[in-house]
Structure 1
Amino acid sequence: MLLTPGTPADARRRYKPVQNLLNAEIDGAEFEMQVPTDYSAILPALESEQAEIGMDDVTVLANPDKMDIYGSTVTGGSAFYFSLMVVPPESDIGGPEDVEGQTWAFADRLSTSGSIFALYALQEAGLDIGDAPKDDPVDFEGSWTDHDQALQRVGEGQADGATTWGGNGIPHLPEDTEVPDRVEENSSFLETMGTETPEFKAVWWSFPIPKQPMYARTSWESDVKEEVGEVLRGSDKEQIEEHYPDDYNEDELPFTTLSDTSIEDYQPIIERMNAVGIEPGE
């Protein structure tokens, strides 16, 4: 299983209940987790049969004919998440249109919430994104690392703002932050507000994005393949809780079950990938 690129130890800890679930429910197979160095490393690992399962949207959306989608992850009762832009509390930046001339921190270059959606929003606001995310933008200075480092750069004064995903950014917002109705209705992370420092303010939110899909490479020929999908889609909060490791913090849990989705549910993401110059198969 290839996890979403990020901090390796954190990702493995967060997904440990999912690994434990599969190892407990499926006989004759052992599931191991690996964290790729970045999104571009996922497809080569799958194509070379070094891995069978992935759980990021970038790879499956760019290569839909090579992957079979199990479904979209559900956490906290929601199958959606958000991309957001954050800035220091004292910043005069009020939205994408104010990013011109600023220094901006992004996550991985191919991250949906940490790069692609924000670049599309900046482009729609009239900014010239140049060759980003592949190369440098024109109307602002950009840096690409990962979700945690993007926020860290803002906190340390190395960037004027950052783009990240809700689970990473919302804990840094003040508890009394007012959010758009679409966020109130679909985010599963609002209860984490005010739990992390430094404090930021949100200046832009995306529309609800289907959470990351879990999928298997089409070339994987095994009876286990279909059973994995059945176990993941049949899981619920009570069952996944049975597989928590000792001292596991359930606030970190990125999965309770899968909603039954297909490639069609991710078309808005594909449109934004294409709009910022990322073509299928890249």
Structure 2
Amino acid sequence: MSDDATEYGFGVSDTTNGTQSGAVNRRRFLAGGAAAAATFGLAGCSSVMGGGSGGGAESVTMLLTPGTPADARRRYKPVQNLINGEVDGVNVEMKVPQDYSAIRPALESEQAEIGMDDVTLISNPDLMDVYGTTVTGGSAFYFSVMLVKPDSEISERTDVEGKTWAFADRLSTSGSIFALYTLQEAGLDIGEAPKGPPEDFEGSWTDHDIALQKLGNGEADGATTWGGNGIPHIPEKYKSDFPDRVLDKSSFLDTLGTETPAFKPIWWSFPIPKQPMYARKSWDSEKKSAIGDALVNSDKETIQQYYPDDYNEEELPFTTLRDTSMETYQPVIKRMNAVGIDPAA
């Protein structure tokens, strides 16, 4: 069974630039519940509470999605610069959690003010005030993709049976959950994955970059990652086989074939709504709404002013935000539940 590309919806077209203000007061997600407690750590430096800092500026900690800390900070540097440049009296610091399960405890313990992953948001929407969903390259969507080496005999999902497969973080939407769901839909027994071992194949869970490294060096027969990470490894010759949904909505087609080693895609998800950006509700500061306004009112020309000197625009994860509701993320919740993850547990 293939994924249904009509399972999502935005209130406005994903090719128009939203300019709404008062972002913190936009529609909030309506699910409840609490995520399982987890020991957490923020890579790079010690945790920082929101509040005053040197020079009178308010310190604001923004949690990036887990991965390679240096790479994540480089990609989001324009966003950090944008907020620091557009909002008076704030000093935004970026932290990279060890994994997705570390994000919510950091917010609940007020060691961070801003986050940007859908899994944490879905687990307890009442904990957050939602700014919106990120837009890059005119699109508010991205893709999960399953990759193999060009000479691999694996050509479809059922061929994964008996093979070794590299995934990203266990709770990664594109790097784990969506791939496990589609393998299950194809008839494979995923066992206890992502929380435990699968039955019909062997799996390993690390992060997006390491998953591709495992594929490249022969430690895995295939890997799952997100389009922005995987498309650069796909040669141009495979583009003619891309589904129309990828050709219409991917922000990363201009990166085709720019990285080695080369891989071949065997499956694409339907368009997944990109990362939400949100602030913890308990953060009582006028800077919260000012930051939301800066993010929502940003556009490509604005964010370009905040590129570091050596910044590669192809890495940019954000140009503006799009208004969203809980309905937008229902396909994510459906797949989490299908693979045994209860976002409200």
| Structure 2 length-normalised TM | 0.81
Alignment partner of 1:234 is 2:287 = no
- Identity over aligned residues, as a percent? 74
Equivalent residue in structure 2 for 1:33, among 94, 99, 102: 94
Q: Who is 1:261 aligned against?
A: 324
- 1:62 is displaced (CA, Å) by 1.5
Task: Specify every segment of 5 or more residues in structure 2 that has no aligned partner in the other structure, as ranges.
Answer: 1-61
Alignment partner of 1:245 is 2:308 = yes
Provide the C-alpha distance between the structure 2 equivalents of 1:207 and 1:81, rounded to a whole number of angstroms: 9
- 1:281 is displaced (CA, Å) by 3.4
Alignment partner of 1:13 is 2:74 = yes
Provide the C-alpha distance between the structure 2 equivalents of 1:152 and 1:89, rounded to a whole number of angstroms: 15
Letter in 2 for 1:129: I
Provide the C-alpha distance between the structure 2 equivalents of 1:31 and 1:262, rounded to a whole number of angstroms: 26
Q: Who is 2:269 aligned against?
A: 206
**Residue deviations 1:185-219 (CA, integer Å, cap 9, x gap):** 00010111110111110000000000011011122
Provide the C-alpha distance between the structure 2 equivalents of 1:151 and 1:281, rounded to a whole number of angstroms: 31
246-255 or 42-51: bigger deviation: 246-255
SS at match of 1:105: strand
Provide the C-alpha distance between the structure 2 equivalents of 1:276 and 1:168, rounded to a whole number of angstroms: 23
Residues 80, 93 of structure 2: 8 Å contact kept: yes
Task: Specify every segment of 5 or more residues in structure 1 that has no aligned partner in the other structure, as ranges.
Answer: none
SS at match of 1:176: helix
Alignment partner of 1:67 is 2:156 = no
Letter in 1 for 2:307: Y
Equivalent residue in structure 2 for 1:98, among 128, 147, 159: 159
Alignment partner of 1:146 is 2:207 = yes
Provide the C-alpha distance between the structure 1 equivalents of 2:154 and 2:123, rounded to a whole number of angstroms: 33
SS at match of 2:63: coil
- 1:263 is displaced (CA, Å) by 2.0
Provide the C-alpha distance between the structure 1 equivalents of 2:325 and 2:75, rounded to a whole number of angstroms: 25
- 1:67 is displaced (CA, Å) by 1.5
- 1:226 is displaced (CA, Å) by 1.3
SS at match of 1:91: coil
**Residue deviations 1:217-240 (CA, integer Å, cap 9, x gap):** 122111111111111010000000
SS at match of 2:303: helix
Residues 119, 343 of structure 2: 8 Å contact kept: no
Q: Who is 1:109 aligned against?
A: 170
Letter in 1 for 2:97: P
Provide the C-alpha distance between the structure 1 equivalents of 2:81 and 2:137, rounded to a whole number of angstroms: 19
Provide the C-alpha distance between the structure 2 equivalents of 1:28 and 1:168, rounded to a whole number of angstroms: 35
Residues 55, 213 of structure 1: 8 Å contact kept: yes
Provide the C-alpha distance between the structure 1 equivalents of 2:308 and 2:252, rounded to a whole number of angstroms: 22
**Alignment RMSD:** 0.8
Provide the C-alpha distance between the structure 2 equivalents of 1:36 and 1:30, rounded to a whole number of angstroms: 19
Alignment partner of 1:56 is 2:145 = no
Larger-gyration structure (1/2):
2
Letter in 2 for 1:147: H
SS at match of 1:31: strand
